[in-house]
Amino acid sequence: MIIRFLASSLLLVLSLCLLGTGCSRSEPKPIRAGILYLRSGALADSERSMVQATTLALEELQEQGGLLGRPLEIVISRESPGLEEFTEEATRLIEEEEVEVLFGCWTSASRKVVLPILQQHRHLLFYPIQYEGLEQSPYVVYTGAVPNQQLVPAVKWALDNLGKRVFLVGSDYVYPHIANQIARDQLGALGAEVVGEEYIPFGGLQTAEVIASIQQTRPEVILNTINGDSNHAFFQALKEAELDHIPTMSTSIAEREFEEMGEFTPVGHYATLSYFESLDSPQNRDFLKRFRKRFGVDRSVTASMESGYFSVFLWAQAVEAANSSAPEEVRKSIGGQSWAAPEGIVSIDPGTGHTWKSVRVGRLNEQGQFEVQWSSVGPVRPRPYPTYQSKEVWDAKLLRLYEGWGESWIGESAP
């Protein structure tokens, strides 16, 4: 009797399940993706734009059905007033929000302070900003350019086309200092002259000393590694001092930042980047159309935003290849992943975790767009450590900067 009752009950449950009325199907657990930017201070606008570019890519993946049969959830970090709070936010995203990947960080200073957290949790960050190199971590996928993909060709092109008396100016933190050291070495090897080198406090607007030094040294070209709002103050001061006839080659500023300068927009000046908004290709036209439909028809898109966008699709391919979203498994499958990005084909170098990228020199026109003056034949292999000195020598230089700034990656003159 009991056996017949149990059998009858089981048949009833199965029948109800088949009819879809008597049992519920559990939804697959979402894959949570974290977007990590400070979004405050001198780089607030640039970092908010990075959030938008990354969000667009994740939304497009979700519209395509998610990954591995699972939906995607986007978790955006809270705004952080400083690096201490930023590290706390990185920890919160990993431990409390349980994100399975992080996309973000702008400055090398922010990446450096997050790196120990990634190591502790064996987690994974996609870092999309051009930077100084001298780093190679299994917990970071670097999709921005390193010096041999930007700075070095920028210097060579400037010497061949603009002049050989060079003035170096940058923000006072780790990227510009290391970049200018590499530039100095290259300029010396090519027989050029460094006539001056000055730094503006990170996020600072005081340019009087820099302008006075440029007036005194009379360079033929300025190599600019200033980051953030300080660029506006610098180019405004150049124009007011009637020094804007000196061609400037920039590595940390693009269309969106120039657009905001208004009457001080430095038409005729140069930038070296992997991507320009003006690139005429089907991939780029489609990308711009989708971005502007989502965030506004008048929005400009920069090289960093483009890197942030394609980072998501490289991660997605690695997830599919690993058949897992777990950071440890994605790390194993990310090497060699390639994608047709708006800038062209990009690929993750298996040996370094950096990205093969194209290089382009552009000249800013009156419409606020860059006209390409030179481009590499194809994607350039990333070399995070310049090979003319050993890794140990470069690491020692980094350590001296860090210790000299009181165990910080930003100069002591920072506000």
Indicate if 254 and 388 belong to the same structural domain: yes
156 shares its domain with 274: yes
Confidence of residue 412 (pLDDT cuts 50, 70, 90): low
Residue 264 within a domain: yes
Given a contact cutoff of 8 angstroms between Cβ atoms, the answer to whether 221 and 247 are in contact is yes
Work out the burial of residue 24: count CB atoms within 10 Å of its CB; fewer than 13 is exposed, 13-18 middle, 19 or more buried.
exposed
User: Same domain for 136 and 163?
Assistant: no
Q: Encode pLDDT of 87-138 as tens digits.
A: 999 999 999 999 999 999 999 999 999 999 999 999 999 999 999 999 999 9
Domain of residue 66 covers: 31-145+280-356
Q: How many C-beta neighbours within 10 Å does residue 212 have?
A: 12
pLDDT of residue 382: 98
According to the model, what pLDDT value does residue 198 have? 96
Nearest to 391 by CA among 380, 399, 379, 402: 399
pLDDT of residue 49: 94
Q: Are 401 and 168 in contact (CB under 8 A)?
A: no
Q: Is the CB of residue 371 less than 8 Å from the CB of residue 385?
A: no
Asked if 178 and 123 sit in the same domain, the reply is: no
Q: Are residues 255 and 388 in the same domain?
A: yes
Of 319, 338, 356, the residue that ends a domain is 356
Instruction: Please tell me whether residues 194 and 174 are part of one structural domain.
Output: yes
Q: pLDDT tens digit string along 285-344?
A: 999 999 999 999 988 999 999 999 999 999 999 999 999 999 999 999 999 999 999 999
Query: Is the same domain home to 86 and 235?
Result: no
Instruction: Write down the mean pLDDT value for the chain.
Output: 91
The CATH number of the domain where 134 resides is what? 3.40.50.2300
267 and 285, same domain (yes or no)? no
Total domains in the chain come to 2
pLDDT grade for 25, boundaries at 50, 70 and 90: low
pLDDT band at 10 (very low <50, low <70, confident <90, very high): very low
Q: Identify whether 82 is part of a domain.
A: yes
Whether residue 389 is found in the same domain as residue 268: yes
Residues 65 and 194 in one domain: no
Which has the closest alpha carbon to 147: 400, 399, 387?
387
Write down the pLDDT at residue 210.
96
**Quick one: which H or E segment has residue 31?**
strand 31-36
Structure tokens at 171: 């923000």
pLDDT for 294: 96
Q: Does residue 96 sit in the same domain as residue 240?
A: no
